Structure 1
């Protein structure tokens, strides 16, 4: 897949507005200001798949545990070998938007149908996605699970519905869902804070 064309396609519809108008770093500090504060903070990594859950244990965008969410986690290695380990295709979309001047070299997603824990990661060019199946997914209401084989995806489709797609289509769907997903995430977190406060005060 041509990564440049994939990003151009996936960023259509205003996804680039996530960073538009706010890309200037604060005076005197080159790491302040969006998107500079979101540049991957870990050192360049030429072999990101090696011990990836130890090196990239928490999603940098939402704080979720990637081992706990290994069925949806993803990994992106940029052309300068800076790497983001994220919990889901939702947070991958954030990484790609915020690192818009950094070319993705490789992107990996999990084989949801695998029986091993954690799920093995596969390059996204080789994955088949199942969009909108009746399956829970991290950070998004409309699930976008990935499978190492089309046959595996079709087995889940027969049981849970959904539409088969390639990675770039799943990424585009992620951007289209972003507004509703963010609103739902805010609502869920507000409800959790409220329950925690009620529990704390008896």
Structure 2
């Protein structure tokens, strides 16, 4: 009887801690509290060039690359998408990030990061939030947990989890986003005959909105599903 009571209490504590973590995630919003600072050009500047997710909705995890030899600045929803973009992020360009406290764009390499907090991550199970001030990082850390690190450790962690992060995202796309996008595109959108004019996925998403290719019911998650299906299945030829 005593053993059963101990097991019950331990289970209750685990459930309570899990519920607390989820509550903390709900209390922290990644969305920009005001007008976000965007470094990309063109109508598509509000969407990630790798996954097409909204920069505004993932603003506090947003990273960017300021091109030194061209005007091709890019802003991503997350560090995961910076790494997926590969060459562009590593050819001598400047890496910037949004300060999760001030919501200003800062130099990524001089920032303090809270790694693995209970606040929600973007495209990764391991969240990464940047701060120009160490005091701000400490305040965030005391509330949401995690570990305060510098750029090199943050980027090493992101690279280490990249394959598992990609696998996690691909599983979601294969199970839910592609099938949803295919169904919605066929029933709620006008056909697109030529995809070759779109250089990046955020251009495609912007065009769907601008030219009202889909009806008014296709918004937010549904729009993302249609965009992913069209870009990765129809344009890039991935198998469904």
1:107 aligns with 2:107: no
Alignment partner of 1:150 out of 106, 112, 134:
134
State the match for 2:154 in structure 1. 170
The 8 Å contact of residues 38 and 75 in structure 2, kept in 1 or not, is answered as no
Match of 2:69 in 1: 80
More strand as a share of residues:
1
* Corresponding position of 2:87: 98
For residues 161 and 172 of structure 1, do their structure 2 counterparts lie closer, same or farther at Cα, with a shift above 3 Å needed?
A: same
Aligned to 2:39: 52
Q: Which has the higher helix share?
A: 2
**Cα RMSD (Å):** 2.8
| Residues 190/156 of structure 1: CA separation in 2 closer, same or farther (3 Å cut) | same
| Distance in structure 2 (CA, Å) of the matches to 1:146 and 1:99 | 21
CA distance in structure 1 between the aligned counterparts of 2:178 and 2:90, rounded to whole angstroms? 39
Q: Give every structure 1 segment of 4 or more consecutive aligned residues whose post-TM-superposition deviation is greater than 4 Å.
A: none
Q: Please, which of 129, 134, 140 is the counterpart of residue 118 of structure 2?
A: 134
Work out whether residues 53 and 67 of structure 1, in 8 Å CA contact, stay in contact via their aligned partners in 2. Answer: no
Distance 1:69 1:93 in 2: 17
Residue aligning to 2:60: 71
1:184 maps to 168
Structure 2 vs 1, CA of residues 175 and 51 (structure 1 numbering), >3 Å: closer, same or farther?
closer
Offset of residue 51 of structure 1: 5.1
Task: Report which of the two structures shows the higher radius of gyration computed on alpha carbons.
Answer: 2
State the Cα distance separating 1:53 from its structure 2 match: 6.1
With the length of structure 2 as denominator, give the TM-score of the two structures.
0.54
- Offset of 1:60 from its aligned partner? 1.2
Stretches of structure 1 that go unaligned for 5 or more consecutive residues are 1-48
